[in-house]
Amino acid sequence: MASSSSILSPPIILPFVFFLISLSIEPVLSTLSSTDSTGTNTNSTTLHAREEFLKYKRIRAKLNKINKLSSEDGDVIDCVPSHLQPAFDHPLLKGQKPLEPPELPKGCNLSSSLGDILVQKWRTNGESCPDGTIPIRRTTKKDLLRASSVRRFGMKPPRRVRRDSTSSSHEHAVGYINGDQYYGAQASINVWSPQVIDPSEFSLSQMWVISGSFGNDLNTIEAGWQVSPELYGDGSPRFFTYWTTDAYQETGCYNHYCSGFVQTNNKIAIGAAISPTSFYSGRQFDISILVWKDPQHGHWWLKLGSGAVVGYWPSFLFTHLAQHANMVQFGGEIVNTQQSGHTSTQMGSGHFSGEGYHKSAYFRNLQIVDWDNGLIPASNLKLLADHPNCYDIRGGVNRAWGNYFYYGGPGRNVRCP
């Protein structure tokens, strides 16, 4: 994991340096105005120093403006030089710069969709970071104080990805495909604001790209949206990423909380709130997420929406995923920490799958990337709900949505006490 300074300190230190310089400039000006022992006229030197002082003030003001973009939800977004992002704290990335995006998979749809309407709150007024920088949501002392463990801040609890109904605090309603070699996946997911009743719980909807034996060697790449009061301090749905190479034990993290994911996009802040969201019996808003393996260099790339390539996970981070995935999983997950009775934390829209469009959460246009870097339908999709009386799932296929499913639920109810 990156050092604490990479997380807590403002990533650009130049404004502080300039502040120090400005404090020392005035005595320098006085010194330069005094009699020169050589008899040389010092007026030009003094003028030059004053000009430098004003220049430093202008630069500091500019940096303070571009490096701190405030969001209406209270987030502070720092614009960090691309080569100084946390990923480049990794020994194998030091001194490097972000790569250019590779060719998209064949069949990737670049046309506009509802996903293009959906933006992050910090960009409500069209803000973005300058070229050569990336937006990173600032981590605060309050974020760390909420964490159950400072050492594991930004990491999931050690566990295995579920494929059965074994009892656990993590509960799922998912569709998955396995039994072959996979080089990525794509899906569109509608975004909701499910109620999370306990700060130690979360509710998320995501895509997992998985490889390994489902023991301690499990490799995953994950992306989607989540509501996590402990991680973010509120109940807003947020775009997130995750990775691990040892079943969530010591490697990997959310977003930019460790050295790993390399961001290349200056308009998307991973961990920032998504707006707008879907409304029950109203208009639906979804995001399209694509993860694919670059056939040339082997890195795993991430795209959000119809054309925004976000960045990549370098292939050397992984063991099994350095080659390919052997499973892809789509769906919802919640954490139930209640000791007596089931949690009322919602999954998806908070309604069961049977209510359908406008009311239930969905994944649509489920596809996988094959060995030839082509998108093909995710056929033979298996559906699983750990606790179907609390959260369920049902799927189908049609021409408009391809392979799809509805999923979710309210948690605690008369059939899920």
* DSSP-derived 3-state class of residue 321: helix
Under a CB-based contact definition with an 8 Å cutoff, are residues 158 and 151 in contact? no
Query: Does the annotation count 222 as an active-site position?
Result: yes
Under a CB-based contact definition with an 8 Å cutoff, are residues 410 and 367 in contact? no
Instruction: Work out the end-to-end distance of the chain between its first and last CA atoms, rounded to an integer number of angstroms.
Output: 40
Q: Rounded distance, CA 144 to CA 69, Å? A: 21
Q: Rounded distance, CA 113 to CA 313, Å? A: 26
What amino acid occupies position 220?
Answer: T
Going by the DSSP 8-state scheme, the letter that residue 28 receives in this structure is H
- Selected catalytic residue, list 26, 100, 201, 222: 222
The two structure tokens encoding residue 258:
């460790």
Strands (E), 305-351: 308-313, 325-335
Query: Does the annotation count 250 as an active-site position?
Result: no
Q: Rounded distance, CA 16 to CA 32, Å? A: 25
- Selected catalytic residue, list 72, 100, 103, 333: 333
**Among the listed residues 311, 298, 296, 304, the one whose alpha carbon sits nearest the alpha carbon of residue 256:** 311
Burial class of residue 238 in the structure, from the number of CB atoms within 10 Å of its CB (0-12 exposed, 13-18 middle, 19+ buried): buried
Active-site residues, by number, are 222, 333
